[in-house]
Chain A
Amino acid sequence: MKTLACYSMKGGVGKTATAVNIAWFAARAGYKTLLIDLDPQGASSFYFRVKSKKKPWDEKFFQDHEYLLKHIKEADYENLDVLPAHFSFRNFDINLSDISKPEKGLKKVLKGFKSSYDLIILDCPPTISNLSEAVFYTSDLVLVPVIPTTLSERTLDQLYQYFDEYKLNTDKITPFFSMVQKQKHMHADSITRLKERYSSFIDVTIPFAADLEKMGEHRQPLGEFASGKPVFTHVQSLWQAVRERL
């Protein structure tokens, strides 16, 4: 079983779209896939039309694997399950701080899925916190969508610094360019700078595309309504690159 985190401390960069589409491709490729929506906003749950039960989770997420199993829902697509977000997930930092080794809390929980899934995808909230540390510790790969702008450059630098500071394995960080608008000079310049600075970038860029935005309207992964569009091919290449690195 491999664990892939879709993470950025910056919001609106395409984390959820990436998590949803990669999950769809993985499931289509025959991987038994579980997408865990860790973001209390529940955007990926919304895309998959999956709702959480009303009852709050309290601290049970990190303590009761059986309870976790009861919340898993099958997506409309074969091989794909979703653990939908709950608003109480906003308390994850507090829940984690209550356990002895917070960074290991998530890994312990996910271990129970080993026999049921080939791939776990974590759709992460845009924060840097106890939860993020647990995500970094647990994941085999941290997929980071980066919009090629100055602010995003800064955010990526901060992520590397954080990994160094907490002695985490920086090889896990796997950035790729997201929402790229080729006509913008600023994007082109930023891509050049970042590629020089970080060799870990996946050699696939996801263009800014209306179809990605339309995922919310369709409440479906890209492959279900835009499989003939160029952006679909880009996301497919991203999946192939991720698959090779996992």
Chain B
Amino acid sequence: MRWLIKTDSVIHFLQETLQKSAKLSAFRADLNSEESHQISFFDDFEDHIFKQKACLIKQDDSFYWISPEQTHHLLPQLPKFAHHIEDEDIAEQLNKVVGARKLGLQKNILVTRQQWVLRDNEGKVILRLTATCDSQHCLLTATALRGYEKQARSFAKQMPTDNEITEIAPDYHLLLAHSGFTPTTYSLSLKFNLTADMPPEQAVHQYAYTYFNLARENEAGILAHNDDIEFLHDYRVAIRKIRGLISLFKKQLPKTLISELQQELAFLAKKTNELRDLDVYLHNKKSFFNRLDTNHQKGLEQLFSAFEARQRGCRRELKSWLSSQNYQQKVDHIYHLISCLLQIDSQQSIQPCLQKLLRKNYKKVLATGQSIHAKSPDEEVHELRLSCKKLRYLTEYMQQLPAAQAASQIQKKLKKLQNSLGDFNDNSVQQNKLRQFAENAPATAAQAAIMLAETYASEQKSVRKKIQKQFAEFAKADTQQLVKQLSQA
């Protein structure tokens, strides 16, 4: 039982509550202990921890990871990243919440914790109360003693029902939430108010404009935080989403405009390719070292120090590009091209366009997938990956239309297959990069790179088998039914 009350005096509040009932009027509240702590909250740029109703806090020089169920895990120090935590279980828990995001100070709150007991008219403790308070609010948590549940219920009845907290979240999270803290609204998953009869140009404009703004929101992060690789990741994803959507509409929209916009966006993306690859390599450094035996560790060290050096170089180049006049001109030009979409006088509506595209792209995925067999060249698997990607962008977009629940169901069905196709592609890319690197690297580093490439090659074979199985699952009649439902709605 928990309540959030606005008070600066717990005793006053408790006394008033007890006086409300004749049954409880002879009861009394005793304060057992009281302590004050400065609580520092830590989170990432997207306030993921707060949004997941968990807490990463510092209290009296100790750091705690607190799950929504209030399980406290003591951490030896403040981790800069989830993967820096030595305890694998906790690292995994935090990783699920913040991923590769960097952790930093969010807010400080002075918190007082009081332990109270409620005694009956014979002085027997019937209820334990913990009051966790900041300057304005108190979170009262009551635990009935065994055998005294009835009396505890009588007490609970006198508490203001509107103030009862039923959500699962740590006390500190609730205090932070009521202290005036507002989490960022930043998210890669945006909501659009699409209507079925909206012209496609207007809808694409809305999507492209919003996602381009989102990409640009990450510029400051890329410039300021060398080690939070998610700013660059999100920048690229936002641009990719726009490119994905306009390529779907290439036949409905003016060819020259679309082609120019595609070129400009591709140019921005290309500028970030190498750094993103290096970011991923270095983020997964530990897993690379686990792939090879001790004989190759020295070679790997050399390999990764070369990657680190190149990463620093790429980062410098990207920062300089993002701060340049040329970049600003590109950005302005892209905004201009996006705005041109609004000047087109269209007679079409978005929904039938999307439905037609859905049928077409679903058929393409089926045809490409069905032609793949154990000995098909890698290029055909990549072809399937690209078709699936388009289909996903399409369903993501259709999800924004009213009554399009089937879109998210198709996405769910597509997810496993897409993940495996992504792994397959990553494997190819990694192999090529490592072999390329080996050509100009010193002997030990080159050997380690070749060995790593070999591990990827053998992994790729098993991924291919998985893809065939997952495609068969996706191609079943129920997906077809969902596509039919969505394309006829």
B125–A76 touching, CB < 8 Å: yes
CB < 8 Å: which of A72, A81, A219 contacts B123? A219
Q: Identify the 9 closest CB pairs spanning chains A and B, nearest first.
A: A73-B147, A49-B124, A74-B145, A74-B146, A76-B125, A49-B122, A49-B123, A74-B147, A73-B146
* Interfacial chain B residues near A38, Cβ < 8 Å: none
Residues in A212-229 with C-beta less than 8 Å from chain B: 219
Which residue of the partner chain B has the closest CB to A70?
B147
> Contact flags (1/0) for A67-88 with B, using CB distance below 8 Å?
0000111101000010000000
Which residue of the partner chain A has the closest CB to B123?
A49
In the complex, number of A-B residue pairs with CB atoms less than 8 Å apart = 25
* Interfacial chain A residues near B148, Cβ < 8 Å: 73-74
Q: Known contacts A50-B124, A73-B146, A73-B147; can you find 5 more A-B pairs with CB under 8 A? A: A50-B147, A73-B148, A74-B147, A219-B122, A219-B123
CB < 8 Å: which of A48, A49, A81, A219 contacts B146? A81
B146–A76 touching, CB < 8 Å: no
Give Cα distance in the complex from A134 to B147, angstroms. Answer: 27
B147–A76 touching, CB < 8 Å: no
Which residue of the partner chain A has the closest CB to B120?
A49
Interface size class of A (residues with CB under 8 A): 10 to 19
Contacts A/B (CB < 8 Å), 10 sampled: A49-B124, A50-B147, A51-B122, A72-B146, A73-B148, A74-B145, A74-B146, A74-B147, A76-B117, A219-B122
Residues in A197-246 with C-beta less than 8 Å from chain B: 219
Closest approach, in angstroms, between the C-beta of A218 and any C-beta of chain B? Answer: 10
Which residue of the partner chain B has the closest CB to A53?
B147
Give Cα distance in the complex from A228 to B146, angstroms. Answer: 30
* Interfacial chain B residues near A48, Cβ < 8 Å: 124
> Contact flags (1/0) for A51-77 with B, using CB distance below 8 Å?
100000000000000000001111010
Give Cα distance in the complex from A50 to B147, angstroms. Answer: 10
> Contact flags (1/0) for B112-126 with A, using CB distance below 8 Å?
000001000011110
Which residue of the partner chain A has the closest CB to B125?
A76
Closest approach, in angstroms, between the C-beta of B420 and any C-beta of chain A? Answer: 45
Residues in B103-146 with C-beta less than 8 Å from chain A: 117, 122-125, 145-146
Give Cα distance in the complex from A57 to B186, angstroms. Answer: 63
A73–B122 touching, CB < 8 Å: no
Interface centre among A48, A71, A73, A74, by most chain B C-beta atoms within 10 angstroms, is A74
Which residue of the partner chain B has the closest CB to A82?
B147
* Interfacial chain B residues near A76, Cβ < 8 Å: 117, 124-125, 145
Give Cα distance in the complex from A81 to B125, angstroms. Answer: 12
Which residue of the partner chain B has the closest CB to A73?
B147
Residues in B135-186 with C-beta less than 8 Å from chain A: 145-148
Give Cα distance in the complex from A72 to B149, angstroms. Answer: 12
Closest approach, in angstroms, between the C-beta of A175 and any C-beta of chain B? Answer: 33
Give Cα distance in the complex from A48 to B148, angstroms. Answer: 14
CB < 8 Å: which of B117, B122, B125, B147 contacts A72? B147
Give Cα distance in the complex from A48 to B126, angstroms. Answer: 12
* Interfacial chain A residues near B145, Cβ < 8 Å: 73-74, 76
Closest approach, in angstroms, between the C-beta of A214 and any C-beta of chain B? Answer: 15
* Interfacial chain A residues near B123, Cβ < 8 Å: 49, 219
Give Cα distance in the complex from A71 to B147, angstroms. Answer: 7
* Interfacial chain A residues near B125, Cβ < 8 Å: 76
Give Cα distance in the complex from A76 to B116, angstroms. Answer: 12
Closest approach, in angstroms, between the C-beta of A168 and any C-beta of chain B? Answer: 34
Give Cα distance in the complex from A100 to B122, angstroms. Answer: 41
Give Cα distance in the complex from A74 to B126, angstroms. Answer: 8
Which residue of the partner chain A has the closest CB to B147?
A73
Closest approach, in angstroms, between the C-beta of B57 and any C-beta of chain A? Answer: 25
Give Cα distance in the complex from A219 to B121, angstroms. Answer: 13
Give Cα distance in the complex from A203 to B125, angstroms. Answer: 36
Give Cα distance in the complex from A71 to B122, angstroms. Answer: 18
* Interfacial chain B residues near A49, Cβ < 8 Å: 122-124
Closest approach, in angstroms, between the C-beta of B31 and any C-beta of chain A? Answer: 15
Residues in A135-182 with C-beta less than 8 Å from chain B: none
Which residue of the partner chain B has the closest CB to A50?
B124
Closest approach, in angstroms, between the C-beta of B173 and any C-beta of chain A? Answer: 26
Give Cα distance in the complex from A219 to B122, angstroms. Answer: 10
Give Cα distance in the complex from A72 to B125, angstroms. Answer: 15
> Contact flags (1/0) for B307-343 with A, using CB distance below 8 Å?
0000000000000000000000000000000000000
Give Cα distance in the complex from A73 to B144, angstroms. Answer: 11
Give Cα distance in the complex from A229 to B125, angstroms. Answer: 25
Closest approach, in angstroms, between the C-beta of A46 and any C-beta of chain B? Answer: 10
Closest approach, in angstroms, between the C-beta of A102 and any C-beta of chain B? Answer: 29
Closest approach, in angstroms, between the C-beta of A85 and any C-beta of chain B? Answer: 14
Give Cα distance in the complex from A76 to B128, angstroms. Answer: 9
Give Cα distance in the complex from A51 to B148, angstroms. Answer: 11
Residues in B180-228 with C-beta less than 8 Å from chain A: none
Give Cα distance in the complex from A81 to B147, angstroms. Answer: 10
* Interfacial chain B residues near A71, Cβ < 8 Å: 147
Interface centre among B122, B145, B147, B148, by most chain A C-beta atoms within 10 angstroms, is B147
* Interfacial chain B residues near A51, Cβ < 8 Å: 122
Give Cα distance in the complex from A146 to B114, angstroms. Answer: 44
* Interfacial chain B residues near A81, Cβ < 8 Å: 146
Give Cα distance in the complex from A113 to B150, angstroms. Answer: 24
Closest approach, in angstroms, between the C-beta of A31 and any C-beta of chain B? Answer: 17
Closest approach, in angstroms, between the C-beta of B330 and any C-beta of chain A? Answer: 66
Give Cα distance in the complex from A49 to B117, angstroms. Answer: 15
Give Cα distance in the complex from A74 to B143, angstroms. Answer: 12
Give Cα distance in the complex from A137 to B123, angstroms. Answer: 36
Give Cα distance in the complex from A219 to B123, angstroms. Answer: 9
Which residue of the partner chain B has the closest CB to A218?
B123
Closest approach, in angstroms, between the C-beta of A60 and any C-beta of chain B? Answer: 17
* Interfacial chain B residues near A74, Cβ < 8 Å: 145-148
Give Cα distance in the complex from A91 to B123, angstroms. Answer: 30
Give Cα distance in the complex from A74 to B147, angstroms. Answer: 6
Which residue of the partner chain B has the closest CB to A71?
B147
Give Cα distance in the complex from A48 to B125, angstroms. Answer: 10
* Interfacial chain B residues near A72, Cβ < 8 Å: 146-147
Residues in A73-127 with C-beta less than 8 Å from chain B: 73-74, 76, 81
Which residue of the partner chain B has the closest CB to A49?
B124
Closest approach, in angstroms, between the C-beta of B148 and any C-beta of chain A? Answer: 7
Closest approach, in angstroms, between the C-beta of B1 and any C-beta of chain A? Answer: 16
> Contact flags (1/0) for B72-93 with A, using CB distance below 8 Å?
0000000000000000000000
Closest approach, in angstroms, between the C-beta of A37 and any C-beta of chain B? Answer: 13
Closest approach, in angstroms, between the C-beta of A239 and any C-beta of chain B? Answer: 23
> Contact flags (1/0) for B21-55 with A, using CB distance below 8 Å?
00000000000000000000000000000000000
Which residue of the partner chain A has the closest CB to B144?
A74
* Interfacial chain B residues near A219, Cβ < 8 Å: 122-123
